[in-house]
Structures are given as structure tokens and as C-alpha cells.
């Protein structure tokens, strides 16, 4: 097997950037989900822009140029693509593209608190130059926030490192932590929902596409993956991958695959309209309901993909398209999705507050 595609999401909820290489950090790929958009509410509070709640976010595509030297900050180019068949209504003077520094100068920027799934962090407000552009295209006030050096606690349970108690620092250990996992960091996340990485199998994607009538091919980016692995003999075999090793040009990268990724209606969005799909695009989730609700911890939602983490010794290594992948540990039974974002197994138990942030749990 080998890596066939690599994706990074420089701004959460917007369309990804396809790369041939990516660098490992303790928080995921180097530039992944370090920006996020916040919808300003009437009372001045913020609502996180997740794909499922804000499908129009998929109308924005991104490209990324990494820094070329010490004094170069790199760029993110965001392009707004009007909904299919519509003009820029009321926005004729709005440019189609916006350039944002990939690594901004945070000097003098206002700090604010961002809370994702009960995992708070600090971030920097990028200012009106950027927020006004996004606000014009969304049609309501949004703020562009940059994570900077901060991070969020991983809330979901992990087999090798239990979730730390409230009040414990990111370097805290628990009595039940095992020394055999000393190389596994107690990571903090960027604006990714649950884990540093999301891995999917191209074989499973092909099988899923075959369930949709006609020649419809499911767009893999609807699942928000970081790595697509091709060459697996059987669809859905990744459900039983506990660890995979990537043979990079330097030394192998070990990725522990620890939880399933349960799915929500965000995979039914029609990217050409920025709205829930009315045709074949709207059938993707339904096509998985019959036999892919295989996680007892999220029994109402079908599963596609595995959440993963790398090790401390992998930081700084580069993976690329074509790198060979080997499953180095298999599990006998599918994992059960643990504590993440106050996860409940019965939708009737959801409170209004939880529903507001619920969809972003699925799809990273």
C-alpha cells in the first residue's frame, strides 16, 4: 500500500489544499487547521464555523505556498466560488480571492478565547482586512482567528494514554499511563475536531462510490482526510488497523490509529452550491447507513476513516505521495468511540448547546 493523496486544511471548514508532501508536528501536519472562522452572534459571542452548520464554507477553496526562507511567511490564497448558477448578489465589488499569511506576525493582534467541543484555547483575531472579506461573502459578520502557539486538549479517550483530569497540565501523567508509550506525546490539537490526523482508504472510497447510481464518484475531500492510502485488498479493512508505518525518505513514521470517525450529513453537501445535495450528492450518508454503523460508541452514525496520532520521534519528518504504508498492528475488534465532546449515543439526549456544536465532531 502507499499514500496516494495528502490534504491540509489551512483554514478549518474551507476546502483543502492538496500537497505532494507534508511535515509532521505534534499537532498534525505543519499548517493544518491553524486558522478558523467564527460567526459573531448578536450578543457578541462566537459560533464556530463547522461545515455541517455552515455548508456555504465549501464554496471557498484554498491553495498554500510554504515559506521559502527565514523572512518569508508563506501565503494562503482563498478563492470564493459563487454557487452554481448564481452571480455575486450584492457583492460586485468584492474580489474573488484573498491572500493571507500562512505564518502571520502576531504582534499587536487581539487575543480571544475559542471553545471547540468543551476544549478551549486562545487565538488571535486577524483583523478587519481579512474578516471583512469573509463577512461580505458569507453575508454575516465573521472573524478570522489564528491559533498561534496555542493548542487544545484531546478530549476523546485514547488506548495508550487516558484523558487527563481537569486542572492537569499538558505534560501531566496519570498513574495508569504506561511507560511503553513514552514516545507517544500527550498532544494538543489545532482546530481539528478530535485528532491530529484522519486516514481513509481509497479502496473503501471506491466501494462507497459503487453504491451510488450511475457514474457518480464520491469526492474524498467531503470526509476531510489528511491521508488517503491506496492498495488495500479489501474495503473497510482499515476498521481493524491499530497502527501503520509510513516509509519516508528519512526514517519510518509510526501512526497509531485509535478511534473511528463517525459521519454526519456534512458528507451530503453539494460543493457546487454550498448547500445540502438534492441529487446524488445527497445520497452519500444514506448509502452507508445499512452496514457501516459499526461503532457501538456512535451507533447512530456510519463510520469511514480512522483518527491517528504520531510519536515524538516523528516530529519534523516529511511524508510524501508514493510513500509505502504497512499496517504494523491490527486489532481484533473494532474500537468503540470514547469520550469526545460530551458524546452521547442517543440523539434525544442532546441539549440545545450541544446541538449547536455537534456536527463538527464528525469529519475533523
Closest C-alpha among 266, 286, 264, 285 to residue 276: 266
Please write the tens of the pLDDT for every residue from 195-226: 999 999 999 999 999 999 888 999 999 999 99
Query: Are 12 and 363 spatial neighbours (Cβ–Cβ below 8 Å)?
Result: no
CA distances from 356 to 119, 154, 234 (A): 15, 20, 37
Q: Which residues form the domain of 65?
A: 2-361
Its pTM stands at: 0.86
Degrees (nearest 5) of the Cα angle 197, 301, 285? 90
pLDDT at position 353 is 34
Residue ranges, the chain, pLDDT below 70 = 85-95, 157-187, 338-364
Query: Are 112 and 5 spatial neighbours (Cβ–Cβ below 8 Å)?
Result: no
pLDDT at position 117 is 84
Q: Please report where in the chains the cell 493544518 appears, as a residue.
A: 32
- The C-alpha cell at 88 is 455575486
Sign, Cα dihedral of 264, 268, 270, 275 = negative
Please write the tens of the pLDDT for every residue from 130-168: 999 999 999 999 999 999 999 998 877 665 544 434 333
pLDDT at position 118 is 82
Q: How many CA within 13 A on the CB side of residue 302?
A: 16
Please tell me the distance from the alpha carbon of residue 325 to that of residue 33, in angstroms, as a whole number. Answer: 24
Query: Are 276 and 265 spatial neighbours (Cβ–Cβ below 8 Å)?
Result: yes
User: How many domains are contained in the chain?
Assistant: 1
Q: Please report where in the chains the cell 488495500 appears, as a residue.
A: 232
Amino acid at each position: 500500500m502507499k499514500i496516494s493523496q495528502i490534504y491540509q486544511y489551512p483554514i478549518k471548514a474551507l476546502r483543502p489544499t492538496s500537497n505532494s508532501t507534508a511535515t509532521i508536528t505534534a499537532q498534525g501536519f505543519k499548517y493544518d487547521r491553524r486558522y478558523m472562522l467564527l460567526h459573531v452572534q448578536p450578543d457578541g459571542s462566537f459560533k464556530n464555523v463547522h461545515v455541517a452548520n455552515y455548508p456555504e464554507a465549501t464554496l471557498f477553496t484554498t491553495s498554500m505556498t510554504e515559506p521559502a526562507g527565514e523572512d518569508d511567511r508563506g501565503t494562503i490564497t482563498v478563492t470564493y466560488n459563487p454557487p452554481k448558477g448564481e452571480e455575486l448578489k450584492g457583492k460586485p465589488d468584492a474580489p474573488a480571492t484573498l491572500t493571507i499569511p500562512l505564518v502571520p506576525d502576531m504582534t499587536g493582534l487581539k487575543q480571544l478565547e475559542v471553545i471547540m467541543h468543551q476544549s478551549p484555547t486562545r487565538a488571535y483575531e486577524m483583523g478587519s482586512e481579512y474578516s471583512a472579506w469573509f463577512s461580505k461573502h458569507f453575508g454575516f459578520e465573521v472573524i478570522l482567528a489564528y491559533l498561534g502557539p496555542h493548542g487544545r486538549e484531546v478530549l476523546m479517550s485514547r488506548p495508550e494514554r487516558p484523558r487527563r483530569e481537569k486542572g492537569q497540565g499538558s505534560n501531566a501523567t496519570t498513574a495508569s499511563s504506561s511507560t511503553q508509550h513514552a514516545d507517544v506525546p500527550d498532544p494538543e490539537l489545532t482546530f481539528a475536531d478530535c485528532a491530529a490526523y484522519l486516514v481513509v482508504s481509497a479502496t473503501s472510497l471506491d466501494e462507497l462510490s459503487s453504491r451510488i447510481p450511475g457514474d457518480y464518484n464520491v469526492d474524498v475531500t467531503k470526509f476531510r482526510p489528511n491521508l488517503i492510502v491506496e492498495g488495500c485488498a479489501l474495503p473497510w479493512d482499515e476498521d481493524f488497523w491499530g497502527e501503520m508505518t509510513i516509509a519516508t525518505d528519512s526514517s519510518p513514521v509510526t501512526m497509531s490509529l485509535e478511534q473511528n470517525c463517525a459521519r454526519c450529513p456534512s458528507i451530503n453537501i453539494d460543493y457546487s452550491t454550498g448547500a445540502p445535495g438534492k441529487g446524488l450528492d445527497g445520497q452519500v450518508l444514506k448509502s452507508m447507513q445499512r452496514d457501516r454503523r459499526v461503532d457501538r460508541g456512535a451507533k447512530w452514525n456510519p463510520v469511514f476513516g480512522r483518527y491517528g496520532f504520531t510519536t515524538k520521534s516523528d516530529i519534523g519528518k516529511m511524508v510524501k505521495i508514493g510513500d509505502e504504508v504497512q499496517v504494523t498492528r491490527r486489532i481484533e475488534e473494532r474500537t468503540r468511540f470514547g469520550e469526545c465532546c460530551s458524546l452521547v449515543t442517543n440523539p434525544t439526549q442532546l441539549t440545545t448547546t450541544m446541538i449547536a456544536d455537534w456536527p463538527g465532531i464528525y469529519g475533523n
